[in-house]
Each structure stands twice: as structure tokens, then as C-alpha cells.
Amino acid sequence: MKKQPAKPVRVKPPYAPKLTKSAILVCTCGVRYIKTRVDQVVCITCLVQERDLQK
């Protein structure tokens, strides 16, 4: 029997440690969310609903 070549060892890539914790905010609808956009004051669901109402 032929011996199969050894599989390469997988190494996790180095990630930059996050120095600050993300703040969990509460939306006016009561949902908790993490701020992902600049000047975001509502959750993504409310953000999308506002956008759809403007159209």
C-alpha cells in the first residue's frame, strides 16, 4: 500500500486583539443591538423599516 502524504498543519491566523468592548445598546422598539454604523441610534430592523417608509 502507498503511504498518503501527511496533511499540512493548519495554523490559525493572528488576529488583532480588541482593546475595547462593544457597547450593547437598547433600541426604542426594545431590541438590544451592537452599534455597527456611524451615528446609528436604532437597531437594523428599525433602520430598514425607516428606509422602506421613505420610498
Q: Is residue 31 part of a domain?
A: yes
Sequence-separated (6 or more) residues with CB below 8 Å from residue 27: 33, 42, 43, 45, 46
Q: Is the pTM of this model over 0.75?
A: no
Q: Is residue 13 part of a domain?
A: no
Domain total of the chain: 1
Mean pLDDT split into 10-residue runs, the chain, 55 residues: 75 76 88 88 90 85
Q: Is residue 12 part of a domain?
A: no
Which residue type is seen at 53? L
Range of the domain at 34: 24-54
Cα–Cα distance for residue pair 45/15, rounded to 1 Å: 30
Q: Is residue 14 part of a domain?
A: no
Q: Is residue 11 part of a domain?
A: no
* DSSP letter string, 13-50: PP-PPP-SPPPEEE-TTS-EEE--STT--S-HHHHHHH
Q: Is residue 47 part of a domain?
A: yes
